[in-house]
């Protein structure tokens, strides 16, 4: 029973969040899920099954969780995870492993991905404000996602610190 429903993993479970540069829809999304589920069913660390879960959100985000209290993960097992994700990228022609993208919700609430210079230009133009929802794909635990630390307003986010702009008086 190494793969479990995402809702059942504890808050302490470690997560990896990978965002797709473009929405992954239909048959491509189904193939992505099949690949990930197949990998997780056989994912091991030091010969022991990794208790894991995944979630596919907003046609953009693959969230993989490992319950390290039940079974730890090792460098080799994490490398195996990223190898399969690279294979999925190559097979489907999608980008999942580009950590340089910034994800946010546009005024219509659609998820968008931009390169950092483009995101900075939107901030400078005033198109990104304190209330714009941004995604922090670096959160480390399922609990952080559940607590609203993954999808949050720009104000107080790492994006605000990284792209700091002068406050208007």
93: pLDDT strictly greater than 80? yes
**The length of the chain, given as a count of residues:** 169
Specify whether the CB–CB gap between 159 and 102 falls below 8 A: yes
Q: 165 — phi, psi (to 5°)?
A: -125, 155
114: pLDDT strictly greater than 80? yes
Query: Rounded distance, CA 159 to CA 46, Å?
Result: 37
38: pLDDT strictly greater than 90? yes
DSSP the chain: --B--GGGS-TT-EEEEEE-SS---HHHHHHHHHHHHHHHHH-EETTEEP-EEEEEETTTEEEEEE-TTTS---HHHHHHHHHHHHHHHHHHT-----TTEEEEE-TTS-EEEEEHHHHHHHHHTTSS-TT-EEE-TT--BHHHHHTTSSEEESTTSHHHHHT--PPP-
Give the pLDDT band (50/70/90) at residue 23.
Answer: very high
167: pLDDT strictly greater than 80? no
pLDDT at 166: 57
Q: 34 — phi, psi (to 5°)?
A: -60, -45
37: pLDDT strictly greater than 60? yes
Going from the C-alpha of 126 to that of each of 80, 122, 154, the distances in angstroms are 42, 6, 12
1: pLDDT strictly greater than 80? no
Angle between helices 26-42 and 75-92 (to 10 degrees): 160
CA count, 13 A, side-chain hemisphere, 133: 13
- Residue range 63-81: average pLDDT? 91
Q: What global pTM score does this model have?
A: 0.93
């Amino acid at each position: 029973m190494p793969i479990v429903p995402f809702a059942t993993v504890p808050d302490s479970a470690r997560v990896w969040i990978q965002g797709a540069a473009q929405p992954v829809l239909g048959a491509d999304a189904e193939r992505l899920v099949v690949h990930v589920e197949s990998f997780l069913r056989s994912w091991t660390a030091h010969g022991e099954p990794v208790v894991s879960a995944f979630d596919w959100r907003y046609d953009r985000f693959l969230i993989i969780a490992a319950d390290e209290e039940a079974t730890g993960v090792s460098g080799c097992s994490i490398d195996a995870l990223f190898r399969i994700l690279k294979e999925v990228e190559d097979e489907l022609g999608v980008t999942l492993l580009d950590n340089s993208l910034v994800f946010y919700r546009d005024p219509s609430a659609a998820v968008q991905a931009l390169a950092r210079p483009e995101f900075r230009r939107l901030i400078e133009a005033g198109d990104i404000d304190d209330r714009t929802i941004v995604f922090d794909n670096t959160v480390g635990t399922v609990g952080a996602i559940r607590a609203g630390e993954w999808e949050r307003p720009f104000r107080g986010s790492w994006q605000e610190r990284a792209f700091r702009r002068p406050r208007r008086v």
